[in-house]
Amino acid sequence: MDLRARVNAAVKQAMKDKDAARLSTLRLINAAIKDRDIAVRAEGNETGVEEAEVLAIMGKMVKQRRESAKTYEEGGRLDLAERELAEIEIIEQFLPKALSDEEVTQAIDAAVAEVGAESIRDMGRVMGVLKAKYTGQMDFGAVGAKVKDRLAA
């Protein structure tokens, strides 16, 4: 079952269970996917958003919520921070398992070898390979720094 179908099935189940918090988060996911679908169709692509892009959308949603939760905690609004963290848990149920630090390092080494990267100039190609293979499984902001260190050495 593809990711969209899983989200839609979860929406229906949340409605049956009368789980308002889960339903709200799932609807936000659907809205983000549909917004991107509309943008892609406006660009002339009739097939809509692909699975990898849906994973990227969800990863972005998790990142936004982490930042919001941190801001709320710093501002003393623990109730809002807890709500953001609860939304993260719901979104992460649809994402593939995140890679460990060791697995990330192995993935970087494999990508460097695949593109034959030798210097920092090859960073874009390495990141492109990683994004194609591991969307939703790693934080590319943190991975970018590791790739840079690996290529600088």
Decide: pTM greater than 0.85. Answer: no
What is the CATH T-level fold of the domain 3-92, as seen in this structure?
Hypothetical Protein Yqey; Chain: A; domain1 (1.10.1510)
pLDDT digits (tens, 9 = 90+) for 109-135: 888 888 887 888 888 888 888 888 887
Q: Whose CA is closest to 37, among 54, 45, 49?
A: 49
Q: What band does 151 get if pLDDT is binned at 50, 70 and 90? A: confident
Report the distance separating Cα 105 and Cα 143, nearest Å.
9
Q: Which two tokens stand for residue 30?
A: 């659907």
| Inter-residue contact 40 to 49 (CB < 8 Å) | yes
Q: What band does 1 get if pLDDT is binned at 50, 70 and 90? A: low
What is the CATH T-level fold of the domain 101-152, as seen in this structure?
Arc Repressor Mutant, subunit A (1.10.10)
Report the distance separating Cα 64 and Cα 88, nearest Å.
9
Q: Which two tokens stand for residue 73?
A: 């905690």
Domain coordinates in residue numbering, the chain: 3-92, 101-152
Angle, helix 78-92 to helix 20-42, in steps of 10 degrees: 60
Q: What band does 46 get if pLDDT is binned at 50, 70 and 90? A: confident
